[in-house]
Amino acid sequence: MLELALGEGEGLKVEFKERLSNLDREIVAFANTSGGTIYLGVDDSGKIIGIPIDNALKSQVSDIAHNCDPSIKITFQEYRHEKVLAVHVASGIDKPYRCKEGFYVRNGPSTQKLKRDDIITLINQTDKMRFDEALNEHFQYPKDFSRESLDEYLRISGITTHASAHDILVSLNAAEEIHGYLKFTNAGVLFFAKDPQRFFPESYITAIKYKTSERFSILDKKDIKGSPVSQIEQTLSFLLRHMSAEPSIMKRQSFPLGARQDIYEYSPLAVREAVINAVTHRDYLYDSSHIYIHMFPDYIEIENPGGLYRGLTLADLGKRSIRRNRLLADLLHRAGFIERVGSGFSRMENALLENNNPPLEVVATNFFNIRFYKRLNEIDQSMLTTRQLTIYQTICNSKGINKREITIQLNLGDDTTLRELNHLIKLKLITKKGIGKATIYFKS
């Protein structure tokens, strides 16, 4: 198991530490989340440094766990040849736990300190079992297990091991051994079942391309099934296939001089992040619908079952990270689909800006809806009249301009100028600040 842990790296249930510094934070974080193992004598990269294993060390670690509030039960596993001590921490039944520095939880491969509202959320959720971490009583191993899905997951995750499928699945927290039987978590079923949709019929994505803005004008439709990894890859292929693109000479430093790079009407990076976000954070307990992706002529909309997770607001997006499906997110993180915790929305916003797309729109009710608008460039301005384009260019060439200045410069009437400005605002091309005569217009 040590070899597997070192090969897979840190994750939701694995932490490497060279010494005992801040060990109480890690113990509290695992107890407040879904449990995990701390490997003492291993650096952050997974390299064994070694630590002297004796009764004094184990007594010191036990004291640290006992001094948490409330005290936390731990067990040890010694790897004396490698000089590594594994400290196993179970998910606590008396959450929330704290150490002298405060309350912590495990968030992917990192430990995160909780703020007041996060602590309240944790208290409210202590009596609830998360969907992805619950054991599935209907899945039978090895009958329903797909070795091909596991091998593909190991390949894209860069995990090389000679361990058995049984040990790998347990190490990934996709399954638990109970009384000699391997029981899969729901996340394990989604990732490694031969037919995940047999167990969760609504765990798929429907992608639709429309000819017009009406939902009955369907040009192409695909129900995308399989594992979360397969769904993400198939969905991105569908979206890219239906995105128009034009070749361009790139001048950014990230590309060689003169390299040709297609510019898509929507940022592929932003759309990719949104699809991953939908698969990761959807409410899988909501079994009356699934994820929909609608491609209209002027925008893409992703509909995801489940609104914002309790404790989050729209203003928190990109600033705070509370994950509905922690184990599912951890498996996607290991596979390279998720990078830093909570960074997805920032990457989306930056990618849209880089691609000259208007800002995204988000609506959260019982569904989480995100909308992307087509990029605007020097060639594709078909949605603007000549007058609207002139006003837009005037605003772009300024550092902020009021309605009266535009009216005088372009020799327009007040009502006409206001009407065209409101149209440009609706298209997300410009924004305004101030009220009344003090209103100033800026490029979005």
Give the tens place of pLDDT for each residue, 255-288. Answer: 344 444 678 899 999 999 999 999 998 988 888 8
Give yes or no for residue 251 having a pLDDT over 50.
Answer: no
Sequence spans of domains, the chain:
2-125, 147-199, 205-373, 386-443
* Cα–Cα dist 302/317, whole Å: 16
Return the CATH fold of 2-125. Answer: 3.30.950
* Amino acid type, 349: E
Closest to 16 in 3D by CA, of 36, 39, 35: 39
- Predicted pLDDT of residue 249: 43
What CATH code would you report for 386-443?
Answer: 1.10.10.10
Give the tens place of pLDDT for each residue, 278-321. Answer: 999 898 888 888 999 999 988 999 999 876 666 566 666 665 66
Residues in the chain: 444
* Cα–Cα dist 334/156, whole Å: 9
* Cα–Cα dist 310/121, whole Å: 7
- Predicted pLDDT of residue 342: 59
Q: How confident is the model at residue 70 (pLDDT cuts 50, 70, 90)?
A: very high
Q: How confident is the model at residue 192 (pLDDT cuts 50, 70, 90)?
A: very high
Give yes or no for residue 199 having a pLDDT over 60.
Answer: yes
CATH 3.30.565.60 for the 205-373 domain, yes or no? yes
Average pLDDT, the chain: 87
Q: Are strands 98-99 and 84-89 parallel, antiparallel or unpaired?
A: unpaired
Phi, psi of 90 (to 5 degrees): -80, 155
Closest to 430 in 3D by CA, of 404, 386, 398, 407: 398
* Cα–Cα dist 42/16, whole Å: 5
